[in-house]
Every structure is written in structure tokens, then in C-alpha cells.
Amino acid sequence: MEKVTKSHKFRYIVLFSSLLATIISLFISTSISSFLEINLVALIPFFYGMLFILFVPKNIFWGPGFIMLNIVFFIRYIIFIPIFFLNDFETKIVSYYEPNYVLYTFFLILIELIVIFIVINIVNKRMNSRDSVILIIKNNNFYFFSIIFILSIIVIARNSSVLSNFNFVFNPSKYIDESVGLAKSEFIYGSGIELELLKYTIIIFNLYFLEKYYFLFLNTQRQYYMYLAILPILFSSLFYIGISRSSLLLPLLTYIFVFNKFFPRAYKFVTPLFITYLVVSMTVLSIFKQFRTDSIAEGTEKFGDINNFTNILNDYTSCFPNVYQGFVNSEVYKNKRNYETVFNDYLSVFPFLHRFADLDNRTTVHFNLAFSNIHKTSHRILPLTIQGYMHFGLLFFYIYAVLTVLLVLKFDDLYRNSGSIYYSFLYAFLAIGIGFSIGHTFTAHIIGRLIKFFIPMYIIFLINRKFRSKSLKKI
């Protein structure tokens, strides 16, 4: 089983890279910038590195969520900043930087980082102050899981078009016709409930075989059971849903962590295999989607362009330009926001209840209206920092960032102390998904993930557990 990791090497990496990124950024910014405020942005890597060294305990548990959280932070605050200046601080969403707004955005980011790292330090002390005993738990009854499986077969038999939601990773046909907007590619075949049921069934199916072969491996110590356990996972990972790369990324990352937790020798073969496939598939899908091409060579060339690379990082991790423009947009539409806006933000993420929300009066809509014009409609992700600012104002804008970090640490702790493969997957998936969404809209991407995935899967596992529960082995 996993133990607390003392990652001294990563601390040195963060320290060195943050200083290097700061030096590079300052050198470029002072050479090309015309106002002082933009030079402050070059200091963001330094502040991130110092806060990490000062507040992240050496004995912190590097769970799946905390790892994902730090990957996103590393991209946003260390990798992106020097690239941003190398690209003459140009992105497709910002054509001009207002000095005052740059200053406000800088302090929003800095204050949020300070609060986040203080919370990490405090919560880690409380979580590491208690000892826990982990029991390996085997699921001895699959009656309710069988019902879920049968329902999925019925759904497919009644409406086979629901399978059209699943796309082969290496098939670019969905993207090469630029006359078809990506919004149309997000159309769901069948009902949303039917699609969710199939998603739950695939996960349960994979975990069933993972658990089955794990206990055979435990009893016999035969390595080939570990290899058999990966086959269903690899097959299901050949497909993704709609145009959502996260529908491939998040489950596969979760399987990697669960494998390493229950198969200590997985890192020798299985983990490199999974990671290699993940990198290749995500790169290919990103090329297809971003550049609407079926040519890997052409897409790779465009992907390597610094302007394109800057925009991709900014789009998916909500870097400085996204937060800056979000702050500008929030000021433009501040007179249209009210308590109903906050209510609609939350109500819109609930299945069935969303029809009662005023979908035109949401913070995401206000944010995108400022981007949109007569020629093009914007569908950008509202940064979490800015939604916090829109909901709570300048005094408490960091509340959503704090809640996100608390959820990541909580699910990491649940994952660490769970002896069930099923619950370990559930907790790791949420920890990774929430850590990945630290820069995304809180209501849609974090509350939405809790409502649409965690609660249904937890209920399914809980009902099934009523038919069984046997602790086999104390470790």
C-alpha cells in the first residue's frame, strides 16, 4: 500500500524552476514592456516557488489529487509565465493590457496562492496527526452491479445510437470538417441519463476485473494476473465521449493510481504503458481538436508554434490572461449580476432542476458575452478565481479556491485509507478531477462533478455493499 511520500526532489525542482522562470521572465519583460505593472507578472513564479517551499510540509501525502493540483499550478505559474513573455504577452483573448487591471489581477492571484498554501499547511497537520488501519475489502456480491449491467444492455438494445457518443481516439473525422462547429459535436445521442448509465457501467466492469485479478494475484503472486487486469481498461481507453478529452484523461489517470496502490510492482511495466498511451492519445486528440486536421505532422508543427502553445496552456489551465480578461469582463457586466445570478449558477448544474434556472443570467454567460461579437460566439471556461470574485466580491473571492483545495485533500485522504478497489477509484477520480479543475468554473466543474458522478457512483457502491462486505486481510 502507498505511504506518505517525502518528495525532496520535487521541492528542489520547484525552487530551481521558479527562480529560473522568474529570471527569464524579468529579463524579457523589462526589455519589451512599456509599463511597470506587467513586470509584476514576471514575479509570479518566484512567489509560487517560495510559498511552496515555506508552506508545503515535507511529509505531506502526495495523493492523486494533490499531484494533479501541483501539475496545474506548475503549468500556470512556472511554465506559462516565461512563455507568455516570450510571446510578447500576446494571446488570442487579450489585445491590450490596462495597467490598473493588470495590478488587480496580479494581487488576486497572489492573495489566492497565499491563502491556498496556508490552508494546505494547516489541513495537512490535522490529517497526518492520526493513524489509520487499512483493511483490504473484497466485493463478494454483484447482484446490484448485475442489475446496472442489464439496464445498460436494455438501453443499447432500445437505442443503439447512444453508442455514437463514444469515439475512437485515433479517428479524426469528427474534427476535419470545419463547417461543423465543435458545439454541434457535443450533441448527446440518446438521453443524458442513458449516457451516464453507460459510463458508470464501463467503470464498474473495469473495476470488477481489476479486483478479480488482484485477489488472484494476491493469492498466487503470479504476474500475468496483473497483465490480464489491464486489458479491459486499455480497451475502454481507446474511446472518449463527445469531444471531451477529460473523459479519457481522468479515468485513465485514476486507473494508474489505483493500479500502483494495489499492485506494488505496477510501476515496472503497467504504469509506463499507461502513461505512454495517455501522452500519445492526449497529444493526438489535442492536435485533431485544436487545429481541425487529420495530419499529425501538420498538427505537431502548429502545436509547436509558441503562439498556439501559449493559447492552449491559457485555455485549459486558466493562466494569467484568462484571469485578467475575466476580471475585466466581470467589471463590464457587474451591474447585471445579482443574487439570482448565483442561484442560477448552482441550479443549472443539477439534473432535471436546471430547466428552472434562468440560463441567460449566469456568471459564465456574462463572462462569455464580453468575448462574443456578431461573428463569433464565445464558449470559454470562466476561471474559478473570477467566479469567486463575482459571487463574493474582493474580500472573499478566494473561497472557491479554498473549498477546492479542501476537497482535494479530503478525497486524497479517503483514497489513502480505503481498502476497497471500488472506493479507491471513486475517491481518486474525484481528487484528480477536482485538482484538474482548480482553474475552472467552480459550480459547473466541481459541484457538477460531485452531483453527476460522485453521488450516483457512491449510491451504487453503497447499495451493492448492502449485499456484502468482508474484510479479508489486514495490512
Q: Which domain holds residue 84?
A: 8-127
Residue given cell 490480464 in the structure block: 228
Residues 450/82, Cβ–Cβ less than 8 Å:
no
- CA pair distance 424, 417, nearest whole angstrom: 8
Q: What are the backbone angles phi and psi of residue 473, rounded to the nearest 5°?
A: -150, 135
pLDDT at residue 142 is higher than 80: no
Q: How many CB atoms lie within 10 A of CB 213?
A: 21
Q: Is 121 exposed, middle or buried (0-12, 13-18, 19+ CB in 10 A)?
A: middle
Instruction: Give the pLDDT confidence of 457-471 residue by residue, as tens digits.
Output: 999 998 887 765 444
- The answer as to whether 469 is a domain residue is no
Q: Does pLDDT of 420 surpass 50?
A: yes
Q: Is there a contact between 430 and 411 (Cβ–Cβ < 8 Å)? A: yes
As a whole number, mean pLDDT of residues 402-415 equals 96
Rounded to an integer, the average pLDDT of 94-99 is: 79
Least confident of 86-90, 184-188, 255-259: 184-188
More confident residue, 184 or 272: 272
What residues contact residue 16 under an 8 Å CB cut-off, 6+ apart?
A: none
* Structural domain contains residue 411: no
Query: Does residue 56 or residue 374 have the better pLDDT?
Result: 56
Residue 138 pLDDT class (50, 70, 90 cuts): low
Q: Using 50, 70 and 90 to split pLDDT, how confident is the model at 473?
A: very low
The cell numbers describing 442, all together, are 467552480
Range of weakest confidence among 37-51, 270-284, 404-418, 422-436? 270-284
Q: How confident is the model at residue 58 (pLDDT cuts 50, 70, 90)?
A: confident
Instruction: State yes or no: pLDDT of 114 exceeds 90.
Output: yes
Cell numbers representing residue 344 in the block: 442560477
Rounded Cα–Cα distance for residues 342 and 333 (Å) = 14
Q: What is the mean pLDDT of the chain?
A: 85
In degrees to the nearest 10, what's the CA dihedral of 71, 73, 74, 78?
160
| Average pLDDT rounded to a whole number, residues 202-219 | 92
- Is residue 279 scored above 80 in pLDDT? yes
> Cell 485549459, residue?
316
Residue 23 lies in a domain: yes
For residues 166-177, average pLDDT:
79
Question: For residues 326 and 308, which has the higher predicted lDDT (pLDDT)?
Answer: 326
Tell me: pLDDT of 92 over 70.
no
pLDDT of residue 469: 46
- Note whether residue 318 is domain-resident: no
Range with the poorest average pLDDT among 79-83, 285-289, 346-350, 401-405: 285-289
Query: Is 72 a member of any domain?
Result: yes
Asked if the structure places residue 107 within a domain, the reply is yes
Residue 170 pLDDT: 85
In the chain, how many domains are there? Answer: 1
pLDDT for the residue 119: 96
- Alpha-carbon distances, residue 79 vs 171, 259, 310, 322 (angstroms): 31, 29, 10, 15
Contact 445, 430 (CB under 8 A): no
User: Which residues on adjacent β-strands are paired with residue 91?
Assistant: 94
Confidence class for position 183, pLDDT limits 50, 70, 90? low
Query: Looking at residues 227-256, what average pLDDT do you find?
Result: 90
Indicate whether 251 belongs to any domain. no
Q: Is residue 262 part of a domain?
A: no
Q: Specify which of 32-41, 82-91, 252-261 reaches the highest per-range mean pLDDT.
A: 252-261
Per-residue pLDDT tens digits for 349-366: 998 888 888 888 899 888
Query: Nearest-5° angle of CA 439, CA 67, CA 75?
Result: 50
User: What is the dihedral angle through the alpha carbons of 406, 412, 416, 422, rounded to the nearest 10 degrees?
Assistant: 120
Chain mean position to CA 448:
13
Of 150, 189, 184, give the one whose Cα is nearest residue 166. Answer: 189
Residue 45 has pLDDT above 80, yes or no: yes
Confidence at residue 374, expressed as pLDDT on a 0 to 100 scale: 40
At 335, the pLDDT band (50, 70, 90 cuts) reads confident
